[in-house]
Amino acid sequence: MSLHTMAPDGHTADHADAPVFAGARRAELDELLTRYPTKMAALLPALWMVQEERGWVSPEGMEEVARVLDLTPAYVKGVVTFYTMYHQHPVGQHFVQVCTTTPCNVCGAEDVVTAFLRETTCGELGVTSADGRYTVVEVECLGACGFATPVMINEALVECVSVDSVKDLLAGLD
Amino acid sequence: MTAPAAPANPGMVTLTIEGREVIVPPGTSLLEAAKTAGVLVPHYCYHPSLPVAGVCRMCLVEVEKFPKLAPACATSAGEGQVVHVHSEKAREARKGVLEFLLINHPLDCPICDQSGECELQDYTFAEGRKDSRYMEPKRFNPMEDFGGDVLYVPNRCILCTRCVRFMDVVAKDPVLNVSERGDRAYIGKFEGRDLTHAWASNVVDLCPVGALLSKDFLNKARAWELDRAASICPSCSQGCNVTLETRDNVVVRIRPRPNAAVNQHFACDVGRLNYRWINRRDRLEFPQVRDSGTGLAVASWSAAIAATTQLMRGAARITVLASPGLSNEALFLLNRIAAHTNASMVMTIARGPGAPLPGVKDLALRAERAPNHTGAELLGFHEVATPVASLAPGDLLLVVDAAAAMTDVPEGVRVIVIGTALDDVLRNAAAVALPVCTFAEEDGTFTNLRGRVQRFLQAKAPPAQVRPSYRVLGELASALGAGSFPVLASDVFAELAATVPAFNGMTYRSLGLQGDMVTTPMEITA
Amino acid sequence: MGYPHPSHPRETPVISKHFGDAEARTLAGWQAHGGYDVLRQALATDPVEIQNVVKESGLRGRGGAGFPTGVKWSFMKPDGKTHYLVINADESEPGTFKDREIMRWTPHQLVEGTAIAAHAIYAETAYIYIRGEYTEPIARVREAVREAYAAGILGANAMGSGKRVDVHVHKGAGAYICGEETALMNSLEGRRGNPRIKPPFPAVAGLFAQPTTINNVETVCAVPHVLRHGAEWYKSLSSPSNPKSTGTKLFSVCGNVAKPGNYEVGMGFPMKDFLWDLCGGPPAGREFKAIIPGGSSVPILTPEECAAAVMDYEGIQSAGSLLGSGGVICFDDTQDMVRQIARLARFYAHESCAQCTQCREGTAWTVKILERIRDGEGTMKDLDTLLEIADNMTGKTICVLSDSCATPVVSGLKKFRHEFEAKIPKNRSMAMIPDLAPATA
């Protein structure tokens, strides 16, 4: 999965006005619609497609999804804001998600967070670094509790991250 | 395990609620069943005109043998159940809900419009804690203009979602959502898409607290300062039942009144906001008679009636131009006058775009922007495009509350004005001007487009020498020799009912506050 | 197996037998292990017969509720209506990570179990709802489904049986509450993941208002084994002393423990042996202080209570907790229980859907009080308030997330009250706490 390179002020790079659901993506959506008896049921998958194409779900993205699925933009927004994985604003090229729920918390997850904030120069949770490369957030249980501390970077899960392995992990990213 | 016993009342469900026996149809919720026994189960998110949500958790009641408290709005009455609404467990649960609602709710009562008609205030006063033990900072979100007439104050919102469900299911225009999760949740909309639906302001009524407010009514009056009268909206022919609310004899708000057969719990924004004209100060306040030299001059009622009678007797041809906003009573008396004087009976009907409320059967803002054109038709009036077209010199035109229909007065036509105000056209033309009440200042009935005859009650006192329309017209009719007519509205209606077949058998008492259908079937046009 | 550790001899690997074996992921690899033989036979068997075998086996829902699977399936009648099977792969209960491993190592096991279950409930369509964070499991299961379609195992004529079995993978988007079966259905329908009031029950009106059965991943993965070897065999895997809990269970062990991982043991396994032998006990140089045996929503146990318990539904219940999802979270003696319980409450507050007043407000309030106590700004009265809030949050909401937030607070205060009290400054009144009064003007 690729993300647009985000400038620090959050503007997307290119073709932000072109529709998402055209060409191959339209075909993908059409196939998806055959799997469910209602158009509404394709909403979560359609939002994923928008995020995969644009890196986040913008108001324009929500309006387009609403149009293709015969829903209102307000309805789509209500759904988008419910689920934590849809970004409502652009994020860094590498979206670092550290699990700090109790099973990982007792294994030092919060120290891992601190290490990421330092090494990425983000300094604060949820704030994209000046060079646009990183955003670090805490997330709830990732379902990899036996592999503490698990960290998701964009869609990829890295198991058993420790304070010591943070630096190398970041260095290994493109 | 033995088979369940046969129901006590076959085809119905019999149960006990707060010690009272209740018999209801199968499928009735405990909340509605309790109503039939006169027991109110406190609630927020439930509303009889909306789909059940079951989220506020305020209506939890104790049902014997159930392992947990049951939400009364979402639990069907069961044969033989014993239900307690005010047992200790149920009261404790409600007290808990109230406490949770108040921890982030701002102490805005002194500045909140809902104060005095707020369900959070009411239940807290009755059953809530006497103190607060919440010691943390409260959640804060800024106010938001939702568009239309609606203001949203998120800090006060209890997330009952009535507004969301109304716009979704009843208005069929889902422009409101619940945004975010947990204690971050608020009612949201999409940027640039506002609450401009023709029926959107109903969310203000539906909101149990002061989270959704009418911008029009903002800071205008306190709920306990208002006097209220049951009335009928005069803005179109749907005949929505409303309540006129006045403060110091000024109408400050119109709100819907429930009527399952007409408007359920709803009124449209056009009707709601169309009340300022009722308060206009440039009223016709005294009877006036034109003096040949000096123009219109104030006269006594008897002199004015006498002058009118004389003019009418001397006219070659009389046309009665009535407003379709007059009451059945007034129109009946005009009918008597017209019959006696061989006058033609015409009206014009203003029209505008209709706006249905899709989730309710046969409810819409109607194109005909008058409450009683059906009554007028039943009482002999017919619609014309231009009332003055057929007038000739020597004719007499009796304009009854229909000033808006007059753009000019042809040469040689005499005009008698019976109405609420004198505009420029009529001020120069009227030979006599007789002041009458608006619908807000007298009793009467309207007949809606489906033939439902509904009462409206006097909501405010008229100014100066203004008299009810039926009284003025009754006196005029008597003076013309058309008969002897009563003074009270109910008596006039009784005469109307005795005379006009469509209204046979009706009385004010039989109409009550929900109305009744005319006896002759009405064609259902669009 | 105690994946990622080598299988312990006292484990009973049935579902987890091929964890760590990359070959078993492929269709060919799965078939080499006998995969899809059972499906072929099942498709030729009357659904009621399949339901009966599963009933007889005593298999109970492995997602946390423990409802007898065969009984649940028997609610679905051949009524001619469209039925749906939904596989709940939204594993989000803190401490639980078994379904993740099942899906990434043996996706075909899931596909086969799903297809059998669909047939058993007269459904032609099954949706596997996988939480959005499970990137690898989603990819593996999607690939397995693709392979199965290509091989004619799924589709209009599943394995030549003349019956249609369609399986669709549906990706979630980050919401723990979507693991609740009615919220899952709402999410699948393209709505906010709000739980629904019951009745109506899913078997009557569920997904798209049709009769629906929702099963956990682990549950359906047990089914091919039950059908292959029989109900008696399945019962023989567990301790004979309790016939109500049969077969094996994957326990996800995590936190402060020597060998975290998934362990599959027969029901009724002694917890003392499990924790100190199989899992290696506490980390070196430390002692256990607390164990949550079934995912964060169940009561906290002391090590002593665990040592006396057997690991099945009734056993953990009589020890004072619940088997739940089988997520075993271990806390050692360096942990601050107040801090961890506050963190748990924060989890629930984050995940609350916002429908019910008690949950929406109560979870957040609980967090605020606990964090204040954690940071040394608490009062003794706060402890009473916490318990009253917990009571007001229990048994009063559409779903049990509210109760789940209350549970660690109640059991934490019951068993570790001294830790809470130790953080409360002596002789402190609320008036002395700075910055709590709202700013004036």
Residue B300 forms contact with A (CB below 8 Å):
no
Q: How far is CA B23 from CA B60, B78, B428, in A?
A: 21, 10, 67
Residue C63 C-alpha, separation from nearest chain A C-alpha, in angstroms = 13
| C360: nearest CB among B54, B99, B183 | B183
In the predicted structure, residue A160 carries a pLDDT above the cut 60: yes
Q: In chain B, which residue's Cα lies nearest the Cα of C438? A: B137
Choosing among A75, A76, A83, which should be mutated to test the B contact, i.e. which has the most B CBs within 10 A?
A75
Quote the tokens at residue A5. 């390179």
Angle at B355 between CA B353 and CA B358, to 5 degrees: 155
Among B74, B103, B137, whose Cβ lies nearest the Cβ of C438? B137
CB count in 10 Å sphere of residue B25 = 11
Among B88, B100, B164, B180, most C C-beta atoms within 10 A, so best to mutate, is B100
In a mutational test of the C interface, the residue from B183, B184, B186, B209 whose CB has the highest number of chain C CBs within 10 Å is B183
- CB spacing of A74 vs B193 below 8 angstroms: yes
Of B174, B180, B191, the CB nearest to A75: B174
Q: Does the distance separating the beta carbons of A48 and C261 come in below 8 Å?
A: no
Does the complex come out with an ipTM higher than 0.95? Answer: no
For the stretch C246-289, pLDDT in tens is 999 999 999 999 999 999 999 999 999 999 999 999 999 999 99
Q: A-chain residues within 8 Å CB-CB of C99? A: 143
| Segment A113-121 mean pLDDT | 97
B59 contacts in chain C (CB < 8 Å): none
Distance from CA of B158 to the nearest CA of A (A): 17
Amino acid identity, position B125: F
pTM reported for the whole predicted model: 0.94
Q: Are A84 and C187 a contacting pair at CB < 8 A?
A: no
Mean pLDDT for chain B? 95
Closest CA–CA distance from residue C235 to any residue of chain B (Å): 29
Mutating which of B31, B45, B57 best tests the C interface, going by the most C Cβ atoms within 10 A? Answer: B57
Q: Which residues of A touch B (CB under 8 A)?
A: 59, 62-63, 71-78, 81-82
Residues 6+ apart with CB under 8 A from C181: C86, C88, C202, C214
pLDDT in tens, C34-76: 999 999 999 999 999 999 999 999 999 999 999 999 999 999 9
CA C272/CA C274 separation, integer angstroms: 5
Q: Does the beta-carbon distance from A83 to C173 stay under 8 Å?
A: yes
Per-residue pLDDT of chain B (526 residues; tens, 9 = 90+): 566 678 888 999 999 999 999 999 999 999 999 999 999 999 999 999 999 999 999 999 999 999 999 999 999 999 999 999 999 999 999 999 999 999 999 999 999 999 999 999 999 999 999 999 999 999 999 999 999 999 999 999 999 999 999 999 999 999 999 999 999 999 999 999 999 999 999 999 999 999 999 999 999 999 999 999 999 999 999 999 999 999 999 999 999 999 999 999 999 999 999 999 999 999 999 999 998 888 999 999 999 999 999 999 999 999 999 999 999 999 999 999 999 999 999 999 999 999 999 999 999 999 999 999 999 999 999 999 988 888 989 899 999 998 777 788 888 899 999 999 988 888 888 999 999 999 999 999 999 999 999 999 999 999 999 999 999 999 999 999 998 899 999 999 999 999 999 999 999 999 999 999 998 767 665 5
Sign of CA dihedral B139, B140, B145, B149: positive
What are the two backbone dihedrals, phi and then psi, of residue B414, each rounded to the nearest 5 degrees?
Answer: -85, 140
- B136/C357 CB distance under 8 A: no
Which residue in chain C is spatially nearest to A100 when comparing CA positions?
A: C343
Report which secondary-structure segment, H or E, holds B244.
strand B241-247
**Cα separation of C335 and C239, whole Å?**
34
Q: What is chain C's mean pLDDT, rounded?
A: 95
Q: Nearest CA of chain C to the CA of B460: how many Å?
A: 41
Q: Which residues of C touch A145 (CB under 8 A)?
A: 94-97, 252, 254-255, 260, 327, 329
Nearest to A107 by CA among A65, A57, A150: A150
* Token reading at B213: 């407010």
C400 touches chain A (CB under 8 A): no
Look at C384 and C431; give whichever has higher pLDDT.
C384
Cα-based distances in Å from B340 to B335, B336, B367, B477, C276: 9, 6, 33, 9, 109
Name the neighbours of C, counting chains with at least 3 Cβ pairs within 8 A: A, B
Contacts of C131 (CB under 8 A, 6+ apart): A143, C89, C90, C91, C92, C172, C174, C178, C179
Contacts of C93 in chain A (CB under 8 A): 141
Contact residues, B window 177-206, toward A, CB-based 8 Å cutoff: 177-181, 188-191, 193
Question: What is the residue whose two structure tokens read 């002041």?
Answer: B435
Nearest CB partner across the interface for C349, out of B68, B134, B182 = B182
Would you call A83 and C332 a contact, using CB atoms and an 8 Å cutoff? no
Within 10 A of B145 (CB to CB), how many other CB atoms are there?
11
E strand or H helix at B232 = strand B227-232
What is the distance in angstroms between the Cα of A35 and the nearest Cα belonging to chain B?
A: 25
